[in-house]
Amino acid sequence: MIDSHAHLADAAFDGDRDAVVARARAAGVRGIICIGESVAAAARARDIAASAPGLVWWTAGVHPHDALSFEAGRDLAAIRAHVEAGAVAVGECGLDYHYDHSPRDRQRIAFSEQIALARALHRPVVVHTREAEADTRALVTEGGRDGVIGVMHCYTGSHALARAALDTGWFISFSGIITFKRWTDHDLLRLVPDDRLLVETDAPYLAPVPHRGKRNEPAHLPLTIARLAAARGSTAERIAELTAENARSVFGLS
């Protein structure tokens, strides 16, 4: 299994990060993409990846919540430096019109600039989108036309946006949300083709049932895989295999 999106650099893991990584290995996780949702988080993620080579990789980007403080010259240079040092993707970036922690116009600028950087660096982009479907679709479609490949992470959006992303060659990743009682869109779980499907924990957030409400960690990934397999009429082994292969493909993992 490969956890395509986990915030191992989060302070929630400061007390037992090594044990969390060890539990992931014991659970069968063979890869973790450690998300750098800010320049500071990316630096921490890089150190974590260096401590677990061959198991943990890292990304670098600016989350939409922090778009207000985004400065293209400074932040794009920092992201570029991380990619040149080995970061496997640009992001987590995107649009969040639910919380609106940053003005929407600033979110769009930061997102667009990071998509352009991903294109220039030939790296995928990891996208967060919430209640911003029209603008997300426009920017993802434009990026896809320019050859940018990306991941719609922790996807809970519409079928239309999913199809638009898939049409541009992008990947869709599902998290522990699909194990919650309120999740009813089983058709969405079947919409994504085998070769575009990813799974993630988004740890320390969104722990799957029966751990909901507690700190999430990569060792819980099998619970999401099992739920996805049931919805798709497949086996957990098959879903684990194909999502791991897809993660290796999109992130260029060795």
pLDDT digits (tens, 9 = 90+) for 43-73: 999 999 999 999 999 999 999 999 999 999 9
CATH architecture designation of domain 2-251: Alpha-Beta Barrel (3.20)
pLDDT at 249: 98
pLDDT digits (tens, 9 = 90+) for 180-227: 999 999 999 999 999 999 999 999 999 999 999 999 999 999 999 999
Stated as kind and residue range, the H or E segment containing 243 is: helix 236-251
**pTM above 0.75?**
yes
> How much of the chain exceeds pLDDT 90, in percent?
100
Task: Name the H helices within 52-156.
Answer: 77-85, 104-121, 133-145
pLDDT of 254 over the 90 cut: no
Q: Which DSSP category does 94 fall into? A: E
d(CA 20, CA 3): 13
Q: Which DSSP category does 123 fall into? A: -
User: Do the beta carbons of residue 216 and residue 3 sit within 8 Å?
Assistant: no
User: Do the beta carbons of residue 200 and residue 35 sit within 8 Å?
Assistant: no
Domain ranges of the chain: 2-251
Dihedral pair phi/psi, residue 34, rounded to 5° = -85, 115
